[in-house]
Amino acid sequence: MPCIFLSQNMLLKIDNLKKHYTTEEVETLALNGVTLQVTEGEFVAIMGPSGCGKSTLLNLIGLLDTPSAGSIHFLEKEVTRTSEKKRAEIRKRNIGFIFQSFNLIDELTVFENIELPLAYLKISSKQRKRQVEALMEQLRIKHRRDHFPQQLSGGQQQKVAIARAIITNPKLILADEPTGNLDSKNGEDVMYLLTQLNKQGTTILMVTHSTYDAAYAQRAVYLLDGTIVSEQALTQSKRS
């Protein structure tokens, strides 16, 4: 399926991607020939009913899993057949993850959760402190610096998760139902943050069931039974 947006600045190119899971009793085809292109700076919503392959696609793009067939090119390099060590390095330096369930580490404070990706990159403690405190100030969560995740509201936890995802200035953010566990006000705050990040140049792929959240994106990609069935350019009414 041809992509609506074409540009020389291609960030992600997916070709005929397939993923199946096999047990002793059954084989499940989660993705069946997905082809997709995403250019730098796009905000793309991935939509479809439960079980259609949305999260599987996001996991493959994020190099958390390997496809059964097909290829993924990221920054013009084929990444599906590289070693796990190399894939981990690509993830650490280029991809931020935001999950519906936040996935914060309960034993770490807000500061420590946000700091963790920088520690993996072996950034000095002094520079880590400077970056984390600046970002907490920007997201208005600095007063929660020494709190633990269970001491925070859902909206605050998701802000911490977003801070952790963006602290390394990734080229790509993968968001899996980022407002799914939030009330409408906190959901709008999260979508506003994602929109601002996108306006600053970060590419965002967001899995969502919500047509309201999808309206913040520039393009919607619709999956059904593991296959892209349509793509649609979206109006920009919520991006002002």
pLDDT for 144 beyond 70: yes
Segment 71-93, tens digit of pLDDT: 999 999 999 889 999 999 999 99
Side-by-side strand order, sheet with 69-74: 27-39, 10-22, 69-74, 77-78
Segment 38-52, tens digit of pLDDT: 999 999 999 999 989
Question: Which pLDDT does position 237 carry in this prediction?
Answer: 54
Question: Which pLDDT does position 26 carry in this prediction?
Answer: 82
Phi, psi (degrees; rounded to nearest 5) at 12? -140, 130
pLDDT band, very low/low/confident/very high, at 4 (cuts 50, 70, 90): very low
Mean pLDDT of the region 5-30 = 84
Mean pLDDT of the region 150-176 = 95
pLDDT band, very low/low/confident/very high, at 1 (cuts 50, 70, 90): very low
Question: Which pLDDT does position 150 carry in this prediction?
Answer: 96
Unique residue bearing structure tokens 């600045």: 9
pLDDT for 18 beyond 80: yes
- How far apart, in whole angstroms, are the C-alpha atoms of residue 48 and residue 196? 25
* Total H helices, total E strands in the chain: 7, 10
pLDDT for 8 beyond 60: no
- How far apart, in whole angstroms, are the C-alpha atoms of residue 61 and residue 174? 8
Question: Which pLDDT does position 23 carry in this prediction?
Answer: 81
Average pLDDT, the chain: 91
Segment 180-225, tens digit of pLDDT: 989 999 999 999 999 999 999 999 999 999 999 999 999 999 999 9
Helix 154-166 to helix 184-199 angle (10° resolution) is 10
Strand partners, 230: 222
Question: Which pLDDT does position 81 carry in this prediction?
Answer: 87
The DSSP line for 58-124 is HHHHTTSS--SEEEEEETTEE-TTS-HHHHHHHHHHHEEEEETT----TTS-HHHHHHHHHHHTT--
Unique residue bearing structure tokens 């069931």: 209
Question: What pTM, to 2 d.p., does this model score?
Answer: 0.89
Tokens of 125: 């403690």
What number of residues does the chain have? 240
- How far apart, in whole angstroms, are the C-alpha atoms of residue 180 and residue 100? 6
Tokens of 193: 């943050």
Strand partners, 29: 20
